[in-house]
Amino acid sequence: MTDSLASPRAAFEYRDFRLYQASRLLSTIANQMLSVAVGWQVYELTRRPFDLGLVGLVQFLPAIGLSLLTGHVADRFDRRKVVITCYVALAASSVFLYLTTRSIAATWPIYVTMTLFATARAFLAPAGQALVPDLVPSEHFASAVAWGSSVWEVGAILGPALGGWIYAAGGSAAASTSWPRSSPP
């Protein structure tokens, strides 16, 4: 057995894997930060826990409703193109969310945008997971899977923490938007 095979960091010997994991880490952190910010913004604007629950629901339903289709797309089409398209869709959804929350005094655009955001994430997950065997040789696949899980976990922990910290440091969403605050039910 060579040193390369024994190394727990063997997957990081491959440039494409390193770049993919770096983009995945940053994307996961950004996605988690956005989810935290949207939840706080909706709750702060409406003060209704039900509306906060709807934010979670619109982020969950596309993953379930599209699960068969997203797996089929990941198997049938070029996974790299699917992943890139999903990252572009996530970025566009974020920009659209920013623009709509600045100009429309309603919560429905947030729900629509978060549904589009979640749809892109639903396609990203299987395509991204299926991309890993294309980035490293089979003898380093176990290392790649382990690191991929770790990278996601780090992003899933750092994202909400950073999102909450930035939200607290920047003040409330209601203070920074033109939306009227709804009175509690």
The first and second tokens of residue 150, run together, are: 């770790």
The first and second tokens of residue 21, run together, are: 């994991």
Q: In this predicted structure, what is the pLDDT of residue 18?
A: 96
CA distance linking residue 74 with residue 79, whole number of Å? 6
Write the pLDDT tens digit of every residue in 115-165: 999 999 999 999 999 999 999 999 999 999 999 999 999 999 999 999 989
For the segment 4-27, the average pLDDT, to the nearest whole number, is 88
Write the pLDDT tens digit of every residue in 67-107: 999 999 999 999 999 999 999 999 999 999 999 888 877 89
Q: Which amino acid is at 34?
A: L
The per-residue b/e assignment along 90-113, b for 16 or more CB within 10 angstroms, e otherwise, is beebbeebeeebeeeeebebbbeb
The pLDDT-based confidence of 26 (bands split at 50, 70, 90) is very high
Helix (H, G, I), strand (E, B) or coil at 6: helix
Start-to-end Cα distance in the chain: 67
For the segment 165-183, the average pLDDT, to the nearest whole number, is 60
The pLDDT-based confidence of 41 (bands split at 50, 70, 90) is confident
CA distance linking residue 120 with residue 185, whole number of Å? 34
Higher pLDDT, 117 or 44: 117
pLDDT > 60? residue 185: no
Sort 19 into a burial class: Cβ within 10 Å, 0-12 / 13-18 / 19+: exposed
For the segment 14-42, the average pLDDT, to the nearest whole number, is 94
CA distances from 123 to 51, 91, 146 (A): 25, 14, 21
Number of Cβ atoms within 10 Å of the Cβ of 162: 16
- Angle among Cα 127, 132, 138 to the nearest 5 degrees reads 140
What mean pLDDT is reported for the chain? 88
CA distance linking residue 7 with residue 102, whole number of Å? 50
Domain annotation for the chain: domains and CATH numbers: 28-169 (1.20.1250)
